[in-house]
Amino acid sequence: MSDQSLSFQHLRDEEFCLLSTEDELDILDLFESVLSSSPDADVEQTSQRFVDGLIKLAPGRSLEDQSLPRSTWTALNRIAGCIDHRHYGQDVLVSTVRKLNGVEGWKGLPEIWIAMRDTWNLSPTNNPEAKDEREFTAKEWLNLNSFAARLYNGPHVGSFALFAICELKEGLEGEPKDDDRPEPETRLQVSCEWVVQSGRRLMRESLLDTYADPKEKLETRHYNPYSIGPLFTGLRGFTLERWGFWKRRLLELRDEKIYGEITYKLMDEAIEVMTTIEEDILKKSYPDVV
């Protein structure tokens, strides 16, 4: 767990308007205050103080009739981008969302998927002409995806499956090539982080063949939601075949000597997570054999 210091100052930069409403800026101030005043890395206590503060931001207001819940998700996405993918602050954010799911106004997590989808349009680009000053850096993109994957691993944001498939496809099912966004190594890092943070959810959906359609023709599997990348020829959605492809692809890429240290570390973590999940299933299925 990383304990490095955090900086959110650039989120307040009026030139880029990364957080553009008073509610969003108030949420950032509250998070910084709660995190800095916590004596230790107590995730549950810190997230509860954050939730209590969020509720106090709307005294006497009808949350169904105003924008605070949507502002919460927008602010949390930006905050997550500033928190290292191994910092306990990521867990504080996830615990906060889980608690808010039971709070009037945030119950059911209204518009959380829409806010994340809008954020997805700001992935880092390599094309200077297409660059948006509001877009995430490569490091922020990894951090944001860590947050999204942790949320997906829980029971309340099933719609995040689309983000999971998108990033795993981009990182593991295509030939590495430079195009507009983001660069190949960043895509690989992000796909690894989805496995590390939501591997068990990914396996569960693979066992259920979620979104897979065996009657669909191969030529249409590249264009529909939960589509496949050019290197994979199986069904779209989640399948054990696709899970196996992802793992084999990670093992292949792990042998290439072209990446940075953090990428190899993430690949090792992802491979270990997948192997552990597979072994756990084997032990439960064949307890007398293993």
- pLDDT per residue over 238-250, tens digit each? 999 999 999 999 9
Is the pLDDT higher at 64 or at 186?
186
101: pLDDT confidence band, cut at 50, 70 and 90? very high
Lowest mean pLDDT among 35-44, 116-125, 127-136, 278-287: 127-136
pLDDT at 179: 64
pLDDT at 194: 98
Q: Per-residue pLDDT for 104 more than 70?
A: yes
3-state secondary structure the chain: CECCCCCCHHHHCCCCCCCCCHHHHHHHHHHHHHHHHCCCCCHHHHHHHHHHHHHHCCCCCCHHHCCHHHHHHHHHHHHHHCCCCCEHHHHHHHHHHHHHCCCCCCCCCCCHHHHHHHHHCCCCCCCHHHCCCCCCCHHHHHHHHHHHHHHHCCCCCHHHHHHHHHHHHHHHCCCCCCCCCCCHHHHHHHHHHHHHHHHHHHHHHHHCCCCCCCCCCHHHCCCCCCCCCCCCCCCCCCCHHHHHHHHHHHHHHHCCCCCCHHHHHHHHHHHHHHHHHHHHHHHHHCCCCC
